[in-house]
Amino acid sequence: MWTLFIIFLLLLGATILFYIFKKQQPKRDFSGIQVRVKTWWGMFAIFCFATLFNPLVSLLSLLILSFFALKEYYSMLETKKSDRRIFLWSYLAIPLQFYWIYIGWYGMFIIFIPIYVFLFLPLPRIIGKGTVGFLRSVSFTQWGLMLMVFGLSHLAYFQFATPTYGANLVLFLIVLTQLNDVLHYLFSVYIGKHKIVPSANAFLSWEGFVAALVLTTLISYFIYPYLTPFGLTFGILSGVIIATAGFVGSLTVSVLKRDLLIGDKKKFETLKGRYLSRIDSLTYTSPVFFHIIRYFFDFM
């Protein structure tokens, strides 16, 4: 409760500052910041449902988040009529993936999308649709399911795997992941000179990555005693793991979006501030953090 209250105050402060700067500098374009602030409020509401209430409410809120993330991902694709059936089947995989979490069937949860969906999802695309564009449709669809559904669904499994610590671990993971994103962005803007992939993301830099890694690890050191059952060593390592996985996730999704939206600048600008841009890191940090904890700690 205290952690969420602090996040609420920070968001409120950021919103007030935004409107003050907007009034003081009316000619300056603040549209990018405005979209980010609105998106953060939406994310805050979703993560309140994911951590404050019982596991079922958390499950449903994260199911909705996965659905909209996958929908935004598909909106970037140049689709054909023959792709609609495979997209429909991929949406139907979302409630099934979260149902395995609800009944606690870890074995099916962990192999359903990587194996069964991977093997049988192509069938709707094959039957009566021919071979033109087959590999493109199937590979793009599977990529979306792996990132937006399989990756994010690990957030929901925390509370079912460990009811005692689950909600706090989710909050710990989200706070560090989102702070790492913000720190990387800010340091890249102000001191970043060596861009990592300038063709895909003009902001991500090596200076930003190092600064965010150090500060995220430092923040992890201060907050792990309040939100986790970890000892000192893993409390510090958690910051390193989350910062590194978050960086890889953000970078990968940036390249993916740029590749999909080449030649469509209008759509790129429209989607730049949407939820997909806020949860790209979580698609990596959630499964990585979950499985490392599950391997080393008995309470999972």
- What digits encode the pLDDT tens for the residues 101-141? 999 999 999 999 999 999 998 888 887 666 677 888 888 89
- Tell which phi-psi region holds residue 108, choosing left (phi > 0), alpha (psi between -120 and 50) or beta: alpha
Residues 9-21: tens digit of each pLDDT: 877 887 887 778 7
205: three-class secondary structure by DSSP: strand
Indicate the number of domains in the chain: 1
Structure token pair of residue 255: 């390249």
In a domain, 7, yes or no: no
In the numeric block, the tokens 């841009």 are attached to: 277
Structure token pair of residue 252: 């990968």
* Angstrom distance (rounded) from CA 41 to CA 184: 20
Most confident residue range from 10-19, 29-38, 224-233: 224-233
Q: Do residues 191 and 214 make contact, with C-beta atoms less than 8 angstroms apart? A: no
* Angstrom distance (rounded) from CA 144 to CA 170: 22
* pLDDT for res 148: 92
In a domain, 203, yes or no: yes
Q: What is the pTM of this model?
A: 0.83
Structure token pair of residue 282: 């979580």
Average pLDDT over residues 194-215: 83
In a domain, 181, yes or no: yes
Q: What is the pLDDT of the chain when averaged over all its residues?
A: 83
Cβ-based burial of 18 (10 A; exposed 0-12, middle 13-18, buried ≥19): middle
* pLDDT for res 194: 81
In a domain, 3, yes or no: no
* pLDDT for res 36: 64
In a domain, 17, yes or no: no
Answer whether residue 217 shows pLDDT above 80: yes
In a domain, 1, yes or no: no
Answer whether residue 274 shows pLDDT above 70: no
Name the residue range of residue 53's domain. 31-296
In a domain, 6, yes or no: no
Residues 49-93: tens digit of each pLDDT: 766 767 888 888 889 889 988 988 888 877 777 677 888 889 999
